[in-house]
């Protein structure tokens, strides 16, 4: 992106709008917003458009609610500029499907065949046995799973939350994520979103040590250069086990047990057995030790200084799957120690435990984990709605929160507001949720669609090794960029962007991992949000 490039003064969802939902655009010039249909007839007119200062972008901007439009193409005109939008019955199913398929493109240990992958095919990668870091003579076969992000590492905690987002998307927004997406398992009787999640879960099972603990990650000692995965032949290592990885896997496997129980009871039994063994290891090893990279290891650390949120989530899911009250008691204990109930990322998974209490256990969770938790949760959601209201673009992220992977927080906050609506029936945060989804798809200070393969101005140069090394101009489709990051940028980014405001602290450049990397666990909350809207459009 050329920083001084003049961007259009009308910002839109570049993938279109739904005919059953209000249409919002952002206008950076004031006056009257006219809406013309395909025949040039004026169909709506909004007077008094008055842009106001937005702190995160330092733009003057006004969100305009055009209301409901019928299917068709429209021309918007405001302040002497025009921009075309399209309104469709169901504009976002294709985006949601692509975000799910994006995970297929991250598959490791198998060939991506042309039949499924189109131009983005490659031979099987990372199929050599892995060595145990602590005893390098021990070799184990741990193939499968998804490449985590722009690199080729595979990490248990991040993988567990990604699969959990997908399972909950299927449980709570089913109609928006039950399409076939042309993966090898399509048509096997199971929904593809669960087929895709299972590819990761099968690998997670291989990451469990005999005593029940989970290895923290399977990576090399260093990141590979920008080469294709099949050319990355450096030795992979099973890094030491960790509490956070074990507890996150324990939670996910207990959740997955319920998701796959009817599809494949034998597989589901394996999942719950592995979950219980992980819980037993956690019980027997209560002294929490945060993971840090062993000396000489430079790949992603995913070091997490707190395991209470993982233990809370695991206790909730185990109670939901086994009914054993000891897990309920444990969950109550972790809740009483204080949790961030609207966080769903790899470092804080409290929100996933909250979802289990509020949508799975419900009254069975009891007074503390249902009534009290619900009150706290809904209050936090209202506060998220207020953050969106105070932003010029309607973005539910405070100006000082644009850090690495800001898209996670924006999509996570959208998830919270969706869950609020499902929980209370109150639709007053719906427009705020829409604005987070539109943010991802182009209605933002950068006029950029953050999902590859979509929109007039999509990200093109994501930090993603296959996209950088495959010789194809277009990036691998269906991957979401982390987006602006003013608070932990690389020094070279700071040198380039200096005082650029937070919501514009972004470089669409391959080497900008700090602003333009992709990650499996950024795709997955976007899948949840997309599935919610795709379901609404049915």
Smaller CB separation from Zn ion, 18 or 125: 125
Per rule CB under 5 A, is residue 229 in the interface with Zn ion? yes
Please give the residues from 121 up to 180 whose contact with Zn ion meets the rule CB under 5 A.
125-126
Per rule CB under 5 A, is residue 107 in the interface with Zn ion? no
Minimum distance between the CB of residue 466 and Zn ion, rounded to whole angstroms?
10
Minimum distance between the CB of residue 180 and Zn ion, rounded to whole angstroms?
25
Smaller CB separation from Zn ion, 106 or 431: 106
Minimum distance between the CB of residue 149 and Zn ion, rounded to whole angstroms?
12
How are beta strands 72-78 and 237-238 bridged, if at all? unpaired
Instruction: Select from 205, 96, 50, 189 the least CA-distant residue to 143.
Output: 205
Minimum distance between the CB of residue 109 and Zn ion, rounded to whole angstroms?
6
Stretch that binds Zn ion, among 74-82, 108-116, 411-419, 513-521 (CB under 5 A): 108-116
Stretch that binds Zn ion, among 105-113, 203-211, 320-328, 500-508 (CB under 5 A): 105-113
Instruction: Select from 40, 32, 35 the least CA-distant residue to 78.
Output: 32
Alpha-carbon gap, residue 349 to 152, rounded angstroms: 23
CB 14 within 8 A of CB 442: yes
Stretch that binds Zn ion, among 107-115, 207-215, 424-432, 474-482 (CB under 5 A): 107-115
Minimum distance between the CB of residue 387 and Zn ion, rounded to whole angstroms?
38
Q: Quick check: helix, strand or coil at residue 353?
A: helix
Q: How far is CA 28 from CA 33, 69, 392, in A?
A: 11, 22, 10
Please give the residues from 276 up to 305 whose contact with Zn ion meets the rule CB under 5 A.
none
Minimum distance between the CB of residue 368 and Zn ion, rounded to whole angstroms?
44
DSSP string, 182-202: --TTTTSSS-HHHHHHHHHHH
Per rule CB under 5 A, is residue 108 in the interface with Zn ion? yes
Q: What is the DSSP letter of 517?
A: B
Query: Which residue shows structure tokens 């996209």?
Result: 467
Instruction: Look up residue 253 and give its two tokens.
Output: 């496997």
Among positive and negative, which fits the CA dihedral 353, 256, 93, 515? positive
Per rule CB under 5 A, is residue 464 in the interface with Zn ion? no
266 backbone dihedrals φ, ψ, rounded to 5°? -65, -45
Alpha-carbon gap, residue 530 to 415, rounded angstroms: 10
Smaller CB separation from Zn ion, 409 or 465: 465
Stretch that binds Zn ion, among 94-102, 103-111, 197-205, 349-357 (CB under 5 A): 103-111
Stretch that binds Zn ion, among 106-114, 456-464, 503-511, 514-522 (CB under 5 A): 106-114
Minimum distance between the CB of residue 111 and Zn ion, rounded to whole angstroms?
11
Per rule CB under 5 A, is residue 465 in the interface with Zn ion? no
Instruction: Select from 448, 450, 470, 454 the least CA-distant residue to 462.
Output: 450
Closest-CB residue for Zn ion?
108
Instruction: Look up residue 240 and give its two tokens.
Output: 């030491």
The count of residues interacting with Zn ion (CB under 5 A) is 4
Query: Which residue shows structure tokens 């650029």?
Result: 500
Minimum distance between the CB of residue 232 and Zn ion, rounded to whole angstroms?
7
Smaller CB separation from Zn ion, 105 or 437: 105
CB 236 within 8 A of CB 131: yes
Smaller CB separation from Zn ion, 144 or 477: 144
Smaller CB separation from Zn ion, 126 or 504: 126
Cβ neighbourhood burial of 187 (10 Å; 0-12, 13-18, 19+): exposed
Stretch that binds Zn ion, among 56-64, 202-210, 226-234, 250-258 (CB under 5 A): 226-234
Smaller CB separation from Zn ion, 229 or 478: 229
Instruction: Look up residue 375 and give its two tokens.
Output: 């009150």
Chain-centre distance for alpha carbon 198: 17
Smaller CB separation from Zn ion, 125 or 194: 125
Instruction: Measure CA of the first residue to CA of the last residue in the chain; give whole Å.
Output: 36
Q: Which positions from 317 to 356 touch Zn ion by CB under 5 A, shown as an x/- string?
A: ----------------------------------------
CB 181 within 8 A of CB 103: no
Smaller CB separation from Zn ion, 24 or 122: 122
Smaller CB separation from Zn ion, 212 or 229: 229
Among positive and negative, which fits the CA dihedral 510, 513, 517, 520? positive
Stretch that binds Zn ion, among 38-46, 100-108, 183-191, 479-487 (CB under 5 A): 100-108
Minimum distance between the CB of residue 208 and Zn ion, rounded to whole angstroms?
20
Minimum distance between the CB of residue 524 and Zn ion, rounded to whole angstroms?
19
Minimum distance between the CB of residue 318 and Zn ion, rounded to whole angstroms?
31
Rounded (5°) CA angle 109-115-119:
85
Instruction: Look up residue 199 and give its two tokens.
Output: 């590819």
Q: Which positions from 56 to 95 touch Zn ion by CB under 5 A, shown as an x/- string?
A: ----------------------------------------
Instruction: Select from 13, 33, 176, 65 the least CA-distant residue to 430.
Output: 65
CB 267 within 8 A of CB 190: no
Contact positions vs Zn ion (CB under 5 A)? 108, 125-126, 229
């Amino acid at each position: 992106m050329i920083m001084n490039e003049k961007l259009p003064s009308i910002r839109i969802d570049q993938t279109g709008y739904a005919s059953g939902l209000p249409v919002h655009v952002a206008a950076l010039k004031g006056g009257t917003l006219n809406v013309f249909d395909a025949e040039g007839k004026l169909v709506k007119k909004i007077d008094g458009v008055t842009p106001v200062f937005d702190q995160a972008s330092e733009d003057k901007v006004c969100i305009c609610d055009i209301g409901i439009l019928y299917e068709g193409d429209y021309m918007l005109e405001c302040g002497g500029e025009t921009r075309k939008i399209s309104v469709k019955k169901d504009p976002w199913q294709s985006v949601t499907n692509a975000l799910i398929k994006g995970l297929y493109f991250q598959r490791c240990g198998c060939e991506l065949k042309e039949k499924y992958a189109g131009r983005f095919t490659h031979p099987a990668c990372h199929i050599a046995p892995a060595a145990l870091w602590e005893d390098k003579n021990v070799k184990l076969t741990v193939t499968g799973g998804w490449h985590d992000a722009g690199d080729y590492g595979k990490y248990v905690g991040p993988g567990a939350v990604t699969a959990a987002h997908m399972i909950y998307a299927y449980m709570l927004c089913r109609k928006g994520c039950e399409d076939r997406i042309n993966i090898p398992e399509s048509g096997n009787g199971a929904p593809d979103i669960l087929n895709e999640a299972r590819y990761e879960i099968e690998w997670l099972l291989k990451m469990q040590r005999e005593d029940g603990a989970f290895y923290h990650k399977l990576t090399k000692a260093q990141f590979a250069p920008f080469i294709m995965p099949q050319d990355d032949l450096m030795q992979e290592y099973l890094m030491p086990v960790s509490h956070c990885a074990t507890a996150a896997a324990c939670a996910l496997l207990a959740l997955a047990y319920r998701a796959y129980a009817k599809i494949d009871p034998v597989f589901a039994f394996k999942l719950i057995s592995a979950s219980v063994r992980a819980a037993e290891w956690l019980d027997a090893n209560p002294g929490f030790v945060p993971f840090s990279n062993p000396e000489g290891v430079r790949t992603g650390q995913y070091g997490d200084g707190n395991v209470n949120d993982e233990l809370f989530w695991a206790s909730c899911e185990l109670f939901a799957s086994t009914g054993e009250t000891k897990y309920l008691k444990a969950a109550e204990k972790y809740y009483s120690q204080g949790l961030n109930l609207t966080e769903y990322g790899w470092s804080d998974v409290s929100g996933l435990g909250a979802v289990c209490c509020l949508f799975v256990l419900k009254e069975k969770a009891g007074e503390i984990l249902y009534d009290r938790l619900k009150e706290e949760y809904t209050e936090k959601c209202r506060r998220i709605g207020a953050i969106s209201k105070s932003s010029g673009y309607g973005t539910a992220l405070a100006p000082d929160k644009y850090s690495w992977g800001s898209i996670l927080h924006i999509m996570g906050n959208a998830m919270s507001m969706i869950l609020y609506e499902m929980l209370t029936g109150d639709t007053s945060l719906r427009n705020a949720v829409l604005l987070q989804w539109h943010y991802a798809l182009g209605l933002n200070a950068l006029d950029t669609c953050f999902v590859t393969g979509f929109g007039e101005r999509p990200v093109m140069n994501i930090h993603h090794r296959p996209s950088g090394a495959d010789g194809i101009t277009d990036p691998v489709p269906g991957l979401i960029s982390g987006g602006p990051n003013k608070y932990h940028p690389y020094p070279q980014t700071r040198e380039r962007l200096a005082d650029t405001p937070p919501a514009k602290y972004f470089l669409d450049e391959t080497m900008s991992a700090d602003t333009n990397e992709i990650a499996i666990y950024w795709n997955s909350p976007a899948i949840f949000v997309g599935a919610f809207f795709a379901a609404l459009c049915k």
